[in-house]
């Protein structure tokens, strides 16, 4: 089991769990996955941890993702986005106890909403099935939650985190969108559009995931900030996608993210709540 120094370093409102006692085995010859950590296990007497993995045609990537899952998980929920390959069969063969949920609609946001609805654990962890996020980091997220956070964001740009997958354009877009969110919502996020997060199941009413696309992470981050929940960030390492191609398109999805940010502004919310009243007044007059 990993030993993490759980000393929390305050970074203008957000707190980051710093890793100091264990050197990450990045570029280690004994680890065939580059910067990956050895697989850890969760404390047996801890909270029940559910993992939600949305997947569409990820049969080739699942063996890696599942092999990196730590021991002691309460449940693993695979949300199948109507895959045409053997995604479901592979998942069931790799982990017999896996719960398969078939997505009701389209898009990552919808898949996450369906996965969250099916969770019965105390803690929910969001993971990608393409192998870019390392499930072995889950104990770090759980540790932060047990230390007082309501919501824990993985961050590729916090000290100790990195990404092998992000392009310059996406990095710039992320930076711009992150700056907008931090300015408008008073947050101190170092990463915005990253799909590796964990939170207490009690936070679900504050998220109300009601979008379809890749803006789901932004929507969650913004709504969590608006509700005043306590957010911690932990550094995370993002690897390149192992097989296949990503469905993410930088410009259209970036635009959707920006639209989501503006739509969630308190001013917009106030206007929305006032509109019915103004309408009724004008009708009555």
Residues 6+ apart with CB under 8 A from 227: 206
Interaction between residue 226 and another protein (CB under 8 A): yes
Stretch near another protein under the rule CB under 8 A, chosen from 83-91, 123-131, 197-205, 237-245: 197-205
Interaction between residue 202 and another protein (CB under 8 A): yes
For the chain, how are helix, strand and coil distributed in percent, rounded to 5?
40, 20, 45
Q: In angstroms, rounded to a whole number, what is the distance separating the alpha carbons of residues 186 and 201?
A: 24
**Per-residue interface string for the shown chain with another protein, residues 155-194, x marking contact by CB under 8 A:** ----------------------------------------
Q: How far is the CB of 99 from another protein (least distance, A)?
A: 25
Which of 208, 244, 190 has its CA nearest to residue 109? 208
Interaction between residue 201 and another protein (CB under 8 A): no
CB 75 within 8 A of CB 99: yes
Interaction between residue 262 and another protein (CB under 8 A): no
Tokens representing 277?
A: 């009243």
List the one residue from 22, 164, 227, 250 that touches another protein (CB under 8 A).
227
* 99 vs 263, beta carbon nearer another protein: 263
Q: In angstroms, rounded to a whole number, what is the distance separating the alpha carbons of residues 171 and 62?
A: 26
Q: What is the CA radius of gyration of the chain?
A: 19
Tokens representing 213?
A: 């696309």
List the one residue from 230, 242, 248, 258 that touches another protein (CB under 8 A).
230
List the one residue from 30, 205, 245, 282 that touches another protein (CB under 8 A).
205
Q: How far is the CB of 278 from another protein (least distance, A)?
A: 12
CB 11 within 8 A of CB 189: no
List the one residue from 262, 269, 278, 279 that touches another protein (CB under 8 A).
269
Stretch near another protein under the rule CB under 8 A, chosen from 45-53, 83-91, 176-184, 224-232: 224-232
Residue that the structure tokens 């390149």 belong to: 240
Q: How far is the CB of 206 from another protein (least distance, A)?
A: 6
Residues 6+ apart with CB under 8 A from 152: 141, 144, 145, 197, 198, 199, 231, 232, 233, 234
* 127 vs 149, beta carbon nearer another protein: 149
- In the chain, the DSSP E strands lie at 8-11, 14-17, 49-55, 75-80, 99-102, 123-126, 151-155, 162-163, 197-200, 231-235, 237-238
Interaction between residue 206 and another protein (CB under 8 A): yes
Interaction between residue 263 and another protein (CB under 8 A): no
Residues of the shown chain interacting with another protein in the complex, contacts defined by CB under 8 A: 150, 200, 202-203, 205-206, 208, 226-230, 266, 269-270, 272-274
């Amino acid at each position: 089991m990993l030993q993490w120094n759980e000393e929390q370093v305050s970074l203008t409102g957000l707190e980051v769990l710093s890793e100091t006692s264990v050197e990450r085995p990045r570029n280690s010859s004994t680890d065939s996955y580059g910067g990956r950590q050895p697989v850890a296990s969760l404390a047996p007497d801890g909270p029940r941890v559910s993992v939600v993995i949305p997947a569409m045609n990820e049969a080739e990537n699942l063996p890696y993702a599942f092999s990196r899952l730590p021991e002691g998980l309460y449940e693993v929920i695979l949300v199948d986005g109507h895959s045409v390959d053997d995604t479901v069969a592979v998942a069931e063969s790799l982990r017999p106890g896996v719960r398969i949920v078939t997505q009701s609609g389209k898009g990552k946001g919808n898949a996450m909403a369906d996965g969250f609805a099916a969770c019965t654990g105390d803690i929910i962890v969001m993971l990608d099935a393409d192998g870019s996020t390392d499930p072995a980091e889950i104990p770090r997220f759980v540790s932060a939650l047990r230390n007082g956070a309501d919501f824990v964001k993985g961050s590729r740009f916090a000290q100790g985190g990195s990404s092998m997958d992000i392009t310059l354009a996406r990095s710039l877009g992320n930076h711009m969108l992150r700056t907008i969110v931090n300015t408008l919502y008073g947050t101190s996020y170092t990463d915005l559009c990253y799909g590796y997060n964990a939170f207490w199941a009690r936070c679900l009413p504050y998220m109300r995931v009601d979008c379809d696309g890749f803006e789901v992470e932004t929507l969650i981050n913004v709504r969590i900030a608006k509700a005043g929940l306590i957010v911690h960030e932990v550094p995370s390492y993002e690897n390149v996608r192992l097989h296949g191609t990503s469905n993410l398109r930088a410009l259209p999805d970036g635009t959707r993210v920006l639209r989501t940010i503006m739509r969630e502004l308190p001013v917009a919310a106030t206007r929305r709540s006032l509109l019915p009243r103004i309408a009724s007044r004008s009708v009555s007059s």
